Each structure stands twice: as C-alpha cells, then as structure tokens.
Amino acid sequence: MSEAAGCHGGRETLEAAARAAGKSLVMDELTKNYPRGPHDQPQSMCPAFGSLRVGLRMRRTATILSGSACCVYGLTFTSHFYGARRTVGYVPFNSETLVTGKLFEDIRDAVTETARPEDYDAVVIINLCVPTASGVPLDLLPKQINGVRIIGIDVPGFGVPTHAEAKDVLAGAMLRYARGEAEAGPVARPRQMIDGERSVALIGELFPADPMGVGAMLQPMGLTVAPQTPAREWRDLYAALDCEVAAAVHPFYTASIREFRAAGRPVVGSGPVGHDGTAAWLDAIARATGTTAVQLDAAKARALPAIKAALAAAPISARITVSGYEGSELLVARLLSEAGAEVPYVGTACPRTEWSDADREWLEARGTHVQYRASLEQDMAAMREVKPDLALGTTPLVQKAKELGIPALYFTNMVSARPLFGAAGAGSMAGIVAAQTRGRERFSRMVSFFEGVGTPDGAGYGFRDKPVDPPGFRERQRKIQAAKAKAEESVGT
C-alpha cells in the first residue's frame, strides 16, 4: 500500500487500495449492507467500536484488533470508558510487516496463542482501516483452533458508516458461523432452554429490562423471548436462530436479518412502543407465528390498558427534536408523540430499511420529518428552525443547543439508558422531559449573562471586560493577508 493510502489517505483512496489488494468482495458486501447517504457518512465515533463492543460483551470471547496504534488506543480507551472489563488484544505492524505479509503471520500467531479452549469459545480478530486497505486476508485464518472458533472481520471506517452498523458486522458473522454449526449437526444446548418453547428473537441492543417486559407481553400468546442479538455468549446464538420469528427492533441489522432468513425465520420490523406501536407489533408477531385470535386478544388485554394508563398519567406537552446514531430514534419519537409531544424532526445516522417503514409512515402521517443518514449539520439546521423546547441528540448537537439556550439531552446516555417498551417505556420519558423543559428560562438567563464569553473573540482569561479589537485591526489584517497571497502568486508558489 502506498504512503498516500495510509490512515489519512481519504475514503476513496483507501477503498481503491482495498479493492486493489483483493478486498473487492468485502467492500461490495459492506456497500450493499450499509449504503451511504448523499454525503460521505454521518459524523460518529470510529465504526469499529461497534464490533469491538459486541465482542467485549460476550462471555468467553476474546477480541483482537489489527490497525494503527493511534486507532487501537482510541478504541481501547472508549471501550473501557463504556465499561469493558477485559483485555483488548492488539497486533502491531510497521511498513515492513505490512508490505511483506508478516502482519498476517503475526495475526495468525496471536490468534493461535489466544485460542485456549479452557478460556474461550471464540476469538474475534478485527481488521481496521490500514490492514483492510492493505488486503490482510483474515479469511485465510483457520476456522477453528483447538476447538475455539476464529471469527475474522474487516471493519474499516471507509466501508462501515456508523458504529451502530458495525455491531451488525460481527453479529452477522457470528450468526452465520453458528448457523453452519447447527446445520452440520448437534450443538451445545443453550442455557435455560425449554423444549417445545416458541420464541421471538429480538435484534438490537436494548435496555436490560426491555426483553423481560416484552416477554410478559408475549406470554399470553404462548411465546417467550429468545436470547437477543447481539448475543451474550456463543450458545445464545443457537437459541436465537431457533426462534419462531425474529423482530428487527433496531432495523439496520442487515447481515443478521439475512442469517435469520437463511435459517427459515420470518422477520418483522418496528417494536412494542407506545399504545399504537405495541398493538401493531403484536399483530405482526401473531401473523408471523400463527397465533390464534384468542391468544392475541389476551396479549393485548394484558399490555395495552397498562400502556394507555401510563401515557395518560405522564403526558408530555413540549416540542421535541430527536436525533442520534443508535438506531432507535424513530421508536423514541413514536413514544414521545404518543405521549402528547410535538415531534417535528427525527434524524438518524442509520440508513432507511424496510424494517423501519412502519415507524416512518406513522411519524410522517403526523407531520414528522424523518431524515435517514442525517448529518450533524442537518440536525442542527432542524433544531434552529424548529426552536424546540427540548433537543435530544449527539454530544455536539447538545453543546450547540445549550449555546442557543435550548434544553438538550445526550441521546445515547440519557435516552437509551431507559426502558422503551410497554408500560415502563410509556412512563420513562415524561420525567426527564419535564425536568429539562422546566429549565428553559434558566438557560435563557445563562445565555444572556454569558453572551460573548468563551467564544473565539472573547476566549481567554484575565480580562475585566470583553476583549475589543484595536480600531482598524481587522481591515489591516485583511490587507496583509491579501498582499501576502498576491506576492506568493507572483512568484509562482
């Protein structure tokens, strides 16, 4: 790989290098699974964090990174910031090992040394940008060593738009491996599995209490909740694939959905959020599983009155914009809307898929603009235009909102960390919305008090008053810069 194709070579250069190095099939699959929007890709953290997170949350699973040291440092730091409690493996490289192919040998040695059956069921090795662009062939690694499964994936920032979709890269690869094992013969029995149970597999990372709440909804239909995807241990993959129907609660898990379909399982979209959403979702589950009308009515009778009561007990009277990169933004917007909020804009960094169509159509019918592959600039423009009582969004959007005196909450830490489904979900948002919107007057006073302080013209300390440019300063600087540019042009530099 040439020097221009290094870490900062640009997406087009890196993708061309990857294809030239034999990764065309990998890049074609990533492009098909995770199409980009009109701009390059949404602004978010390194996508590989998503795959790393999935591996680190699984029992008896080791994760090894192959990439530039700066990238590995950042990913490791972020992983431990989010609560990882195990080591992240790393295979370093330099120009020589990259060019000569020694890096692949180093990866193979690291995987072989790590694959200890007494410690691990699987070892995951992740190629970051430079090894992918250089064509490091993880597909040539053994499929298992000492009985330990070896999962090699490429998760380049120039091929996977968001870290949310990178979760699907690893989840899909593991489901494909597990499906092959199940088709080949007997596999390990999943924990707490009961013969004859009919289950629903939930696809997406959910608040821990949500699967239990969904299980209670499904119980009158004779259904249980299978271990969710991404899984917590390897044998959970078998139980998930053994479901009656898969529910794409987070609709961007394209590779995972493909594996469930390959296993002969139907897939439904949306989720049991709010009163209308729960009723529609239970209908879809019933159709997919052949549930009787009596069982369906019993499930609705158990779930819907409690949800309706929770919504009525905690109404929301506020204009709210929603944006984020988790994949649950449309579901959150539906819940807020059912609770009485006006939601004029929803932006999600994830792509449009058929699994979110029901949510999109429901929201658009109520006047909500839904923006897939939303950029930070689009989210901010919507916030400025709407002037909401509360903005839910990413860290930079929250920062800008507070500069404008608009109450705001970080979607990932404050919204995703609450139940979303059933009666618990219906009452979860009202409290934080009320607490934040009550503070709007306080925000306005703070913006007025600190106006101009800390901005580029007013940054610094030690001033009694806001710094003021000397008379004519800016005009003199403009003339100096213009003269400098003209001088450089005249000598051909």
Higher pLDDT, 12 or 354: 354
Residue 1 has pLDDT above 70, yes or no: no
Instruction: Of 118-127, 239-248, 429-438, give the lowest mean pLDDT range.
Output: 429-438
Same domain assignment for residues 294 and 338: no
Which residues are CB-neighbours of 446 under 8 A, at least 6 positions away? 405
Mean pLDDT to the nearest integer, 384-407: 90
Number of domains in the chain: 3
pLDDT given at position 464: 62
- Structure confidence at residue 3 as a pLDDT band (50, 70, 90): very low
Residue 185 has pLDDT above 60, yes or no: yes
Comparing CA positions, the residue from 145, 285, 167 lying closest to residue 224 is 285
Higher pLDDT, 215 or 1: 215
Same domain assignment for residues 140 and 25: yes
pLDDT given at position 123: 97
- Structure confidence at residue 56 as a pLDDT band (50, 70, 90): very high
Same domain assignment for residues 254 and 362: no
Boundary of a domain, candidates 271, 291, 309: 309
pLDDT given at position 170: 97
Mean pLDDT to the nearest integer, 104-109: 96
Mean pLDDT to the nearest integer, 46-51: 91
Bridge-based pairing of strands 245-247 and 267-268 is parallel
Report yes or no on 153 lying in a domain. yes
Report yes or no on 38 lying in a domain. yes
Same domain assignment for residues 296 and 232: yes
Amino acid at 314: A
Report yes or no on 178 lying in a domain. no
Helices marked H in 57-101: 69-81, 95-100
Are 225 and 214 a contacting pair, CB within 8 Å?
A: yes
- Give the best-scoring range by mean pLDDT among 60-69, 184-193, 400-409, 463-472: 60-69
* Domain enclosing residue 220, as ranges: 198-309
Mean pLDDT of the chain: 88
pLDDT given at position 4: 42
Mean pLDDT to the nearest integer, 18-24: 86
pLDDT given at position 44: 66
Mean pLDDT to the nearest integer, 360-380: 94
pLDDT given at position 82: 76
Mean pLDDT to the nearest integer, 260-265: 96
- Structure confidence at residue 491 as a pLDDT band (50, 70, 90): low
Same domain assignment for residues 297 and 335: no
Instruction: Of 91-95, 271-275, 418-422, 458-462, give the lowest mean pLDDT range.
Output: 458-462
Same domain assignment for residues 45 and 149: yes
Cis ω for the linkage preceding 470 (within 30 of 0): no
Residue 461 has pLDDT above 60, yes or no: no
Same domain assignment for residues 145 and 19: yes
Are 14 and 23 a contacting pair, CB within 8 Å?
A: no
Taking CB atoms within 8 Å and a gap of at least 24, the contacts of 19-22 are: 20/135, 21/133, 21/134, 21/135, 22/135, 22/137
Boundary of a domain, candidates 426, 446, 466: 446
Residue 459 has pLDDT above 80, yes or no: no
Phi-psi category of 261—alpha, beta or left, where left has phi over 0 and alpha has psi -120 to 50?
alpha
- Structure confidence at residue 14 as a pLDDT band (50, 70, 90): confident
Residue 6 has pLDDT above 60, yes or no: no
Report yes or no on 174 lying in a domain. no
What tens digit of pLDDT does each residue of 312-336 get? 988 888 999 999 988 899 999 999 9
What percent of the chain is modeled with pLDDT above 70? 90
Report yes or no on 465 lying in a domain. no
Same domain assignment for residues 260 and 119: no
Please give the distance of CA 262 from its chain centroid, rounded to a whole number.
24
Same domain assignment for residues 389 and 263: no
Comparing CA positions, the residue from 46, 11, 51, 40 lying closest to residue 376 is 40
Report yes or no on 52 lying in a domain. yes
439: helix, strand or coil: coil
| Continuous segment of H or E residues that includes residue 348 | strand 342-348
- Give the best-scoring range by mean pLDDT among 3-12, 342-351, 403-412: 342-351
Mean pLDDT to the nearest integer, 135-155: 95
Amino acid at 276: D
Same domain assignment for residues 8 and 152: yes
What tens digit of pLDDT does each residue of 192-242 get? 777 778 999 999 999 889 999 999 999 999 999 999 999 999 999 999 999
What percent of the chain is modeled with pLDDT above 90? 58
Residue 94 has pLDDT above 80, yes or no: yes
Report yes or no on 394 lying in a domain. yes
Instruction: Of 290-294, 481-485, 486-490, give the lowest mean pLDDT range.
Output: 486-490
Kindly state the tokens that stand for 396. Answer: 């930079």
Same domain assignment for residues 262 and 340: no
Higher pLDDT, 491 or 294: 294
pLDDT given at position 362: 97
- Structure confidence at residue 457 as a pLDDT band (50, 70, 90): low
Q: Alpha-carbon distance 212 to 201, whole Å? A: 12
Could you tell me the CATH number of the domain that includes residue 390? 3.40.50.1980
Report yes or no on 478 lying in a domain. no
State the burial class of residue 441 (Cβ atoms within 10 Å of its Cβ: 0-12, 13-18, 19+).
exposed
Residue 10 has pLDDT above 60, yes or no: yes
Q: Alpha-carbon distance 472 to 457, whole Å? A: 16
Residue 2 has pLDDT above 50, yes or no: no
What tens digit of pLDDT does each residue of 161-172 get? 899 999 999 999
Mean pLDDT to the nearest integer, 458-485: 76
Boundary of a domain, candidates 309, 331, 357: 309
Unique residue bearing structure tokens 């603009």:
369
Same domain assignment for residues 285 and 343: no
Instruction: Give this prediction's pTM.
Output: 0.85
- Structure confidence at residue 450 as a pLDDT band (50, 70, 90): low
Residue 102 has pLDDT above 90, yes or no: yes
116: helix, strand or coil: coil
Give the CB-side neighbour count of residue 133, counting CA atoms within 13 A.
Answer: 26
pLDDT given at position 432: 78
